[in-house]
């Protein structure tokens, strides 16, 4: 894919991100409302609602990947290092929680919280690196 300026890639990212998040919001609230209309919703309907709610998260991950691919090497390195760092934090958190859960120290964790944990850790790592002015800093 051709490299574009960070500004152009970011603008393109935001133009796609906002509708995806709007769809996500409608899916979460609309799907929850729909399922509450049934005393016991059919399993197939619950499965469809769950998949529709999850689909925009895949879209956001793809947008993040596209943003990284469209920019220069420095920006790409920042994005990829931040995503890797977010993934490492998420996996470590999940493993620690899993062991504590195994030995009944903590209650079970809803697995859909793994996504927000990733996005939060990715965002913090990216912002921390940008504030330092040299990227996430995994190679420093």
The domain spans of the chain are 1-71, 72-140
Residue 100 confidence (pLDDT):
96
Residue 1 confidence (pLDDT):
53
Contact between 83 and 64 (Cβ < 8 Å): yes
Residue 131 confidence (pLDDT):
66
Residue 81 confidence (pLDDT):
93
pTM (two decimals): 0.80
* Number of CB atoms found within 10 A of residue 14's CB: 11
Chain-centroid distance, C-alpha 136: 18
* Number of CB atoms found within 10 A of residue 33's CB: 9
Residue 136 confidence (pLDDT):
52
CA distance 25 to 73: 33
List of the chain residues with pLDDT < 70 = 1-3, 130-140
Contact between 113 and 98 (Cβ < 8 Å): no
CA distance 101 to 94: 10
Buried b (16+ CB within 10 A) or exposed e, 95-119: eebeeeeeeeeeeeeeeeeeeebbb
Residue 132 confidence (pLDDT):
67
Residue 106 confidence (pLDDT):
93
Residues listed for the chain: 140
Which ranges of 37-72 does DSSP label H, i.e. alpha helix? 43-70
Per-residue pLDDT of 3-17, as tens digits, reads 677 888 889 999 999
């Amino acid at each position: 894919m051709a490299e574009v300026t960070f500004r152009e890639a970011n603008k393109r990212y935001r133009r796609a991100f906002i509708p995806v998040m709007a769809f996500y919001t409608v899916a979460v609230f609309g799907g929850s409302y729909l399922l509450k209309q049934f005393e016991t919703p059919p399993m197939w309907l619950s499965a469809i609602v769950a998949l529709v709610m999850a689909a925009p998260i895949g879209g956001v991950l793809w947008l993040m990947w596209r943003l990284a691919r469209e920019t220069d090497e420095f920006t790409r390195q920042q994005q990829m290092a931040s995503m890797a760092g977010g993934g490492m934090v998420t996996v470590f958190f999940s493993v620690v929680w899993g062991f504590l859960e195994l030995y009944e120290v903590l209650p079970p964790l809803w697995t859909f919280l793994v996504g927000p944990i990733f996005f939060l850790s990715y965002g913090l790592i990216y912002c921390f690196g940008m504030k330092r002015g040299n990227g996430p800093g995994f190679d420093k």
